[in-house]
Amino acid sequence: MNWQLQNFIDSAKCLLSYKVYNDFLTVFNQLPQQKLQNRIQWLQFILEISSFLSDFPELLSVFTQFLSDEWKQFCFGTLKICSIDETAEVFGLKNASEQKFQEIINNIKENTINQTQQEYRTKQSASIKQETKKMWEMMGILQGQMKCKKDDNGTV
């Protein structure tokens, strides 16, 4: 599925607070500029985006469309982000076209979603936040171990 980057960014701007949006955009701009050179940077990038967008699982579903298959599987399996098709299904859509995604965003913005959709969003958001937090903690432990290993080798 080919989601247009500008529509994704516009949707984020529409839903996020001004400060969160600007922080999100600063991090997100690393993707098209290919500044991410190793797996740790990719992991940190994905966790930062997940932290910014965790209240909007629909945006995270679209975000996965910009990732490699390997990182998509990480998002779906580890962070518990739903695929764009799963999200579309919750909103009663047969497919996840860009136009229909915009309808979902508008419904969220205008708070015209039904109870089932709201429950899905709440459950997804809580799950994503929990899994993202776990990954941040694991990453912190690994970085601490790497620092200790560097110190043991006499380098800082």
Phi, psi of 84 (to 5 degrees): -60, -35
pLDDT per residue over 80-139, tens digit each?
999 888 888 888 887 667 777 888 888 898 989 999 999 999 999 999 999 999 999 998
Check: CB of residue 59 under 8 Å from CB of residue 8: yes
Tens digits of residue pLDDT in 58-96: 999 989 988 889 999 999 999 999 988 888 888 888 766
Cβ atoms of 15 and 108 within 8 Å: the answer is yes
CA distance 4 to 24: 17
Tell me: pLDDT of 3 over 90.
no
pLDDT attached to residue 2: 47
Q: Roughly how many angstroms between the first and final C-alpha of the chain, as a whole number?
A: 45
